[in-house]
Amino acid sequence: MAERINSALNSASLNGLQLKNRLIKAGTFENRSPNGIPGASLTDFHAQFGRGGIAMTTIGYCAVENAGRLNANMLTMHEDIRSEITQLVQNIQKQDCKVAGQMGHCGAFSKNHTLKARPKGPSGGLNLLGFAEGMWFCDAMSLDDIDHMVDAYRDAAIFMKSVGFDALEIHFGHGYGLCQFLSPLTNHRKDNYGGSLENRLRLPLRVLAAVRAAVGDDFPILAKITMSEGRRGGLHYDDSLEICKALDAAGIDAIIPSNGTSTMNPMLMFRGDSILPALLKYERNRIMRFLLRLMGKKMFPALPFYDMYLLEQAKRIRAVVKCKLVYIGGATSGDNFTEILGAGFDFIQLGRTLLADPDLPQKLAVDPSYKSRCTHCNLCVGTIESPQGIHCPQFTDNSAT
């Protein structure tokens, strides 16, 4: 049993980047960068996973431009914070931990009050995130806006490689900007960027090509996708097979198949207890609190948690792509890791599991049967808006994280 479980702790390579084991901290928006400036809190948060033995941690949601931030406390990849980002990356790397940056753009979904105009996505309409804060609408992107977004990803990639990131993760999922182009629920365009899946893939593939050209062929690029939005007329599991085949053919190094969206169906992403109580605990906007109380039970229903709840659908992707595949979704124990790696996955991303147990790799090395303390209460989701930033309210010392 120990030999099988410890295979998760064996080293592996990702496009030439040697990782000391198969375990990666998933990107989660940390809310530890006030006014977009990273400091000691963000460094300490990620350094704890390095000390705990994780092979690579992912800085969550590195916006490629200011218009790509959901709010003003998100990081933007630009020269004004070069020294702070460089120090952040280097201090985490000192813990014998590689650092990936999750490249994101919110598109039409924003409450970033530093914007001088409406947020823009594939199509105009309501801005669901900013509605309660007076940012009611979003506009459709012009062709020039689309070209600008591609350039923003390219420029951010050049910057991120130059400050020392070991890998980049492009966020194509969870209802954010690139996912808005992929989804027929949010993309109603009549030009070459809308309609068929081939057209809806056009911008995401342009972004991947621009990032690849910026960092070179020997630099690791990962892609996080949504397999299903869980809504009628939205992205579904069969779509994800075609999306992954297109990314694979375009030269992606690894794919992370996730689920759901932050905008429409986040519980497909998490499972377990409803995130509504945690959202209400930390939400300060009275209008948003009213809307959450009015519609929250329908929007955020509890979904039964079970181990590896995305495994069977993710296996379908393993069968159609040649690139590396990173499993995410309910992996909580050495037994889980053994089964996942045995199914042909190359790495495992962990989110809530590591929030509860930042030293999980060390615990597995001592006790191969160890199972994470995470109860999938999902209280950590609400702490994204807390003064301390994201953490596990049950098992971690807030002052240390």
The residues assigned a catalytic role are 176
Instruction: Count how many residues are written for the chain.
Output: 401
Residue 342: Cβ-neighbour burial (10 angstroms; 0-12, 13-18, 19+): exposed
Nearest to 336 by CA among 290, 374, 384, 302: 374
CB 389 within 8 A of CB 383: yes
Residues 262 and 279 sit within 8 Å (Cβ to Cβ): no
Backbone angles phi, psi at 23, to 5 degrees: -105, 130
Amino acid at 5: I
- Residue 35: count of CB within 10 angstroms of its CB: 8
CA 220 to chain CA centroid, Å, is 16
